[in-house]
Amino acid sequence: MIYFDNSATTKAAPEVVDTYAKVSANYWGNPSSLHKFGEQAFNLLEQSRQQIADLLGVKLSEILFTSGGTEGDNWAIKGTAMAKREFGNHLITTEVEHPAVHNSMEQLKQLGFEVTYLPVDENGRVSAEDLRAAIKPSTILVSTMAVNNEIGAVQPLDEIAAVLRDFPRIHWHIDAVQGIGKGLADKIFNDRVDFVTFSGHKFHAPRGIGFMYKRQGRKLAPLMAGGGQERNLRSGTENLPAIAAMAKALRLLLDNEAAKVKQQREIRLAILHHVEKFPNVTIFSKDLPVFAPHILCFAIAGVRGETIVHAFEEHDIYISTTSACSSKKHVESSTLQAMKIDDGIATSAVRISLDEHNTMAEAEEFNRVFDDLYTQFAKLN
């Protein structure tokens, strides 16, 4: 099997599964309990938090645990709206965000908030100049992704940071679900960002666990009210086995990160340079430094994306249409629509997404199968 759908989810690492099982069996106390079993659980919880903070170069108090990227995005956006409503009601995001961001913004619009969606260029990236022009005295939040989940475009985070340094009271949230472990930490954890959200199952941790970076001193209202866990910001008994497993997964991911990124970039380029030679192929994730090393999006004219996906599946190769969240709903790519790509081509788009376990041999096999399928599709057309 060749698994090229890592942006949808990754396989949990064996060491991570082992950690999950051991913590489940041995640390079953509630971290909020006063007895020794609770204390043991609390200590492991804080050790996991410290490990994540150390790996990312931030403070322990700046790491908050969530159930994943969707909750983190909702929390950063709605929590800011609730905490800063007295200072303004204007939010800025982009036309290419994940539904967790887009739909949160739409919900807030129904509650009277004003939302500006920044347009993108032919590479799916926003303009820092457009951001500056969109800012108003009532602006309280800017939310941008680090890496687009559909085509892999890396947003101009350095330029956005430069703009927002002139507006220190505006919260800036980065959805970094697709950006962790891809050599982008310096851009994501810049000196201006306030909130960054991550999802464990994107880097070989269990599903249903994630974390948020919250800059110390920034106001954020809780969405989950209850027993006051996570410094009174996110109530609910902590999922300690998953948290400890996620800390292990992050350590494994970031070990020798540069070499892993280089390998993914080379595999991506090997596929890109092969498929771009065919006349009916359109590449959306071009060979530019503005694209992440692990995502390649392309289309074969006249063949629907789901047809391409299932054709590769017959050869035990697993890719996806542009987003796992929309693939089964047969929804066209919101990113390609924002890039003004013709619908006839957009509906043919598929995505390859790599991780550190993929190999050049898999890329060569993919290219061989692609040649055969391309010939079959040409006969059908």
By DSSP bridging, strand 349-353 and strand 317-318 are unpaired
Segment (H or E) for 3: strand 2-3
- Inter-CA distances, 128 with 95, 118, 188, 349, Å: 14, 10, 16, 28
Let me know if 325 is a catalytic residue: yes
Q: What CA dihedral angle connects 116, 121, 124 and 127, to 10 degrees?
A: -50
* Paired sense of beta strands 195-199 and 210-214, if any: antiparallel
Q: Which amino acid is at 251?
A: R
Residue 279's H or E segment, with its range, is none
Q: Distance of CA 360 to CAs 222, 268, 320, 357, 366, Å? A: 45, 9, 19, 10, 10
Counting beta carbons within 10 angstroms of the beta carbon of residue 130, is it exposed (0 to 12), middle (13 to 18) or buried (19 or more)?
A: middle
The catalytic residue among 83, 301, 325, 378 is: 325
The beta strand positions in 166-278, using DSSP E, are 171-175, 195-199, 210-214
Residue 313 structure tokens: 């599946």
Q: Please provide the DSSP assignment of 85-141 as one string.
A: GGG--EEEEETT--HHHHHHHHHHHHTT-EEEEE---TTS---HHHHHHH--TTEEE
Q: What angle do CA 115, 84, 77 make, to 5 degrees?
A: 50
Of residues 291, 353, 294, 343, the one with CA closest to residue 321:
353
What are the residue numbers of the active site?
325
